Structure 1
């Protein structure tokens, strides 16, 4: 039975790939306090073990899935990357660039001091910085060095060994350094800093955030008394009686008939009005002696919750407080803001800015939500259909441009197909955020391209290098793990001090910016837990977009520097 199984995997290597994926995703899902191997490392380990059986896999499969992965990465971070470079995210973008150079320098210096080969150095860099995608570009660069087939294979086989040994601390260690050591090193009370940030940016004025009128509301019906403060006023005038709150008169029962309440509708004594807002505010608005009425028909207002893709350049960069005063915002409540490829939840504060590419969840009457959607962008309604024609064309364009070789003297310069596809993803992802009439890729599809694309590549690498993995580990020994600790830790410590004292980021977001620049989502989760707030995420999205791009490209740059 065992012999048949082994022979079957050798005859049908695609089965070995799917087995690696299944084992990798299963064991990678186990976590302890939010930390675990993750699907990538678990898939690599599973593939290396299966690779001991001597399985040969054809070459086109690996680059095909890797290009799919790179395009998904670029597509997801494109809007934040372009905005960070071109607009008010410049300080965070520059900070991410500085941190990325720290990461490259640490890996280069560590590899030089330890005397590692190019393949081991590339693996050390990829694992210590938890940037698996860099191995693809490093592979392209190594294949262009003109090495003999035997030497090239030996160099490439060393890469996953170093990656696997250093990745675990790269993930866990970065979370420990940033979330646990970071506040102590910088002298920050993270929870207090986030509270101060919320107060400074409107969190205490109930203009946004959990438990405020932006986020939660009730729908109640009240009878207007003869001398009520709203008698004779229009709906808009009545709503403006408490300017710091968001309350909306949605419908009115008058003389037994139900009327939709517009901004100009005048309120009469004896009317029963249906109002959206916080209950204590509603009572204050309509008078302390207002009588609440249980009018089911009046309260049966069509309510809709819609995800809206922000694309309108007129709202790009405006705060929620500014947008709340727009006519199109009347009657609408904001439930959530999601930003970036990692779907980071952005705190809802009065000073929180909306950007192109954000996805916001609106709640309100259907007609009000429709008006607000037109003001912001396009409805991002659930669909299972991806624009595959767009995906194929965009990857083709990027790969063709990347395949071009320019010679400066006798030195050939090229982006490589991998670099070209990454840039294509950035461009088309940004273009989609401003022209969303084409190129739709549902979030589950982006996840599949991103996660499965990378892990198929990793599985092929692990299976192919499996026979040499054990020998390489025995040769490099425990010192490789220690070098990984150093190369992980040094850039993070430098990043924290540079972010606080050179870029002068707010204490509430500096650690989130460090997490983004190093693309370590696990550490952001721990930082948010310690802060008991989502505020650190405000420093994460722009830095993640820039860091994810540069750290991936550094895989190729490191090979060039070491040869």
Structure 2
């Protein structure tokens, strides 16, 4: 054992990645559908740190990991976050979550005078109950102590499992019945014009009569397929290639125009063929579809965009992102030119603009250094919370001049999850010795404190969501997931309420509540005199 301990303490990078590997093995263990996921890395780190007290890698590694995590979150959720701040439901949801976060923070502070808990440990339990690694980092930086990591690690398991249990209880008590919506897949139909009332009608006038969300992608006339133009005058027996998200809507269009007539267009591709390309060129990424200018002489129309696992109907204001798969109707002679225009490179979608990442992160760190005067408290710096705010703004802006701030979704997920893992591993190893000393001295009391803080966070948020602001149940579980923060909670919420609203609630809440938690912790430290 001494030889293993010596190896771990002499090779901190080896120890770091061993912790990551073992942490994910433990994190995949599921007990009745609940698993710790990446959070298990922290506990493995604590165990290794307790066994080999001098094995901790440099703290800068942990800070770098958290920076990558927060930057990725901001870039991905920027648009949803700012949209949520301006919508009625978004304002209510943020207010409900803020009441819950501040309430749980006050409970954690009450532990200091009532039970003699140290401030850094109580704030660490506050961060752990909310599964907020960014808050943990802010507390450690403000107090220059690793006691917060001890409280964090004690409360973290309840921060993951507790909200899942409470969401399950709420679902059972309220008997919420939510039907799973259909998958977001674009439906296509060929519809023949047989309605005499449409003969001689301009295509632009027909579009005004169609239900919302219907797109006419192509027209077949006299055995030739062509792209639609606003001035095209309809004739009897024209065939319209029509797309929509809802097949029932296409039935309504067929009833208006004439009848379904499948096969006539898709079997004849001499004039127009279907091609799918990857958006990887900077000439298209970050630009709205309405601003794209195809190469001279190219006949082309965008039929749909697929992002992640969902189809998106094309619209002039839809902004392309790296990795989008764009479905096109294009003349076969122009396929090569259009592929070059969009880039169409899988490798290209995986390449990141490290200039943009470096500039964005540097700007966030610079803003985080600016001291902000707060009356009665003094001057505070936002630190990495400012980086998150800057990343949210860049994620909303998406592009500025030559800088494309967004990144492929797959790359974003890998980057931020890797960063979070490195942070948890480094903090766990560094905090291991003190963790075991503290738990050995306090017994189960810290565990109970963590439960109380967590229950305050979830119950207060749920009360304001459901009974004060009257938010729908599926939105509420998304808000609870964002207020507590762990993706495992969101995954469970999506099973309980399989609609879009849990994801939307999480996106609107998670960034703002991360900032609220960080600010609460910093203000508490400042009021206590550091």
Q: Which residue of 2 aligns with 1:216?
A: 186
Encode CA deviations 1:185-232: one digit per residue, 9 max, x unaligned: 6xx44325x79xxxxxxxxxxxxx637xx843124475x66x766544
Q: Which residue of 2 aligns with 1:485?
A: 451
* Compared CA separation, residues 90 and 130, structure 1 to 2 (3 A): same
Alignment of structure 1 residues 39-438 onto 2, 5 Å: 39=38, 41-51=39-49, 52-56=51-55, 57-85=57-85, 89-143=90-144, 152=145, 156=146, 158-177=147-166, 179-183=167-171, 188-191=174-177, 210=182, 215-220=185-190, 230-236=198-204, 243=211, 246=214, 248=216, 250-254=218-222, 256-269=223-236, 274-276=241-243, 278=247, 280-281=251-252, 284-285=255-256, 287=258, 293=264, 296-298=267-269, 301-304=273-276, 332=303, 365-366=328-329, 383-403=349-369, 413-415=379-381, 417-432=383-398, 437-438=403-404
Distance 1:416 1:273 in 2: 56
Distance 1:412 1:117 in 2: 22
Deviation at 1:24, TM superposition (A): 1.4
Q: Which residue of 2 aligns with 1:543?
A: 509
Unaligned runs of 5+ in 1: 144-151, 196-208, 315-329, 339-344, 369-377
Distance 1:82 1:273 in 2: 38
Distance 1:286 1:99 in 2: 54
Distance 1:114 1:524 in 2: 33
SS in 2 for 1:383: helix
Report if aligned partners of 1:221, 1:292 keep a CA contact under 8 Å in 2. Answer: no
Distance 1:423 1:165 in 2: 29
SS in 2 for 1:540: helix
SS in 2 for 1:191: coil
Distance 2:376 2:475 in 1: 47
Alignment of structure 1 residues 387-536 onto 2, 5 Å: 387-403=353-369, 413-415=379-381, 417-432=383-398, 437-536=403-502
Comparing 435-444 with 117-126, which one deviates more in the overlay? 435-444
Deviation at 1:390, TM superposition (A): 3.1
Encode CA deviations 1:80-106: one digit per residue, 9 max, x unaligned: 444444565433333333232123122
Distance 1:503 1:273 in 2: 46
SS in 1 for 2:404: coil
Distance 2:369 2:305 in 1: 45
Report if aligned partners of 1:398, 1:421 keep a CA contact under 8 Å in 2. Answer: yes
Distance 1:104 1:269 in 2: 69
Distance 1:516 1:467 in 2: 31
Comparing 29-38 with 493-502, which one deviates more in the overlay? 29-38
Unaligned runs of 5+ in 2: 291-300, 332-341
Deviation at 1:553, TM superposition (A): 3.4
Return the TM-score normalized by structure 1.
0.73
Comparing 167-176 with 261-270, which one deviates more in the overlay? 261-270
* Compared CA separation, residues 496 and 245, structure 1 to 2 (3 A): closer
Distance 2:354 2:516 in 1: 27
Distance 1:400 1:288 in 2: 62
* Compared CA separation, residues 557 and 356, structure 1 to 2 (3 A): farther
Deviation at 1:36, TM superposition (A): 0.8
Comparing 487-496 with 506-515, which one deviates more in the overlay? 506-515
Report if aligned partners of 2:286, 2:399 keep a CA contact under 8 Å in 1. Answer: yes
Distance 1:366 1:291 in 2: 17
Comparing 428-437 with 99-108, which one deviates more in the overlay? 428-437
* Compared CA separation, residues 170 and 229, structure 1 to 2 (3 A): same
Return the TM-score normalized by structure 2.
0.77
Distance 2:518 2:442 in 1: 24
